[in-house]
């Protein structure tokens, strides 16, 4: 850990850095999945989903940046390298043979829901450690993730 004048106890900062890096791995993984779907989606709703997946990737990229920067503010190191993301992500496996819009939406919705759930758990953990700023960050992230999930799930309710 790097020295900082941040007055949170070192034990709190250590716990929050680990928690932030856990969600950072998930968020980077989700962003890569959204870009994968963006590039590879096929079907009659191509353009709508192509744009939706790109918007999701952008929203999660901003979230990733916020998570990483908070970890560094607390004296930590942000774990954003591909190997760290691969070993750290807790998202469910992505179906590599997904081609149709429906398949990609289902896979992304599952991953997004998992990250949203983990983010809500992170709010509670940050509260227990008394880090109001990290609580706020995870609370804002939860709202972004819930909105993105709503946008994806709207496509699952359509009759094709």
Given a cut of 80, whether residue 160 has pLDDT beyond it is: no
Residue 42 lies in a domain: yes
Residue 160 lies in a domain: no
3-state secondary structure the chain: CCCCCCCCCHHHHHHHHHHHHHHHHHHHHHHHHHHHHHHHCECCCHHHHHHHHHHHHHHHHHHHHHHHHHHHHCCCCCCCCHHHHHHHCCCCCCCCCCCEHHHHHHHHHHHHHHHHHHHHHHHHHHHHCCCHHHHHHHHHHHHHHHHHHHHHHHHHCCCC
Residue 1 lies in a domain: no
Residue 37 lies in a domain: yes
What's the confidence (pLDDT) of residue 158? 62
What's the confidence (pLDDT) of residue 44? 87
Residue 4 lies in a domain: no
Tell me the C-alpha to C-alpha distance, in Å, between residue 106 and each of 3, 46, 149.
44, 15, 10
Domain count, the chain: 1
Mean per-residue pLDDT for 91-110? 94
Q: Which of 141, 139, 3 is nearest to 72 (CA)?
A: 3
pTM here? 0.95
Cα–Cα distance measured from residue 37 to residue 91, given in angstroms and rounded to the nearest whole number: 16
Residue 116 lies in a domain: yes
Mean per-residue pLDDT for 3-16? 95
What's the CA angle centered on 33, arms 86 and 13, to 5 degrees? 50
Cross-strand pairs, 100? 42
Residues 49-96 pLDDT 10s? 999 999 999 999 999 999 999 999 999 999 999 999 999 999 999 998
CB distance 125 to 19 below 8 Å: yes
Domain span at 96: 10-154
Residues 107-159 pLDDT 10s? 999 999 999 999 999 999 999 999 999 999 999 999 999 999 999 999 988 65
CATH for 96: 1.20.1260.10
Residue 130 lies in a domain: yes
Residue 39 lies in a domain: yes
Given a cut of 80, whether residue 1 has pLDDT beyond it is: yes
Residues 17-54 pLDDT 10s? 999 999 999 999 999 999 999 999 998 899 999 999 99
């Amino acid at each position: 850990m790097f020295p900082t004048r941040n007055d949170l106890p070192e034990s709190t900062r250590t716990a929050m850095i680990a928690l932030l890096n856990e969600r950072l791995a998930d968020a980077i993984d989700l962003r890569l999945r959204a870009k994968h779907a963006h590039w590879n989606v096929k079907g009659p709703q191509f353009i709508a989903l192509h744009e939706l997946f790109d918007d999701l990737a952008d929203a999660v990229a901003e979230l990733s940046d916020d998570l990483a920067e908070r970890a560094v503010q607390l004296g930590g190191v942000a774990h954003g390298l591909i190997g760290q993301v691969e070993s750290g992500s807790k998202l469910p496996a992505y179906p590599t043979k997904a081609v149709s819009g429906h398949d990609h939406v289902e896979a992304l919705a599952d991953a997004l829901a998992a990250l949203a759930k983990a983010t809500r758990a992170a709010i509670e953990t940050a509260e227990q450690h008394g880090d109001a700023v990290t609580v706020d960050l995870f609370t804002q992230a939860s709202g972004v993730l819930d909105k993105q999930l709503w946008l994806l799930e709207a496509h699952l309710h359509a009759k094709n």
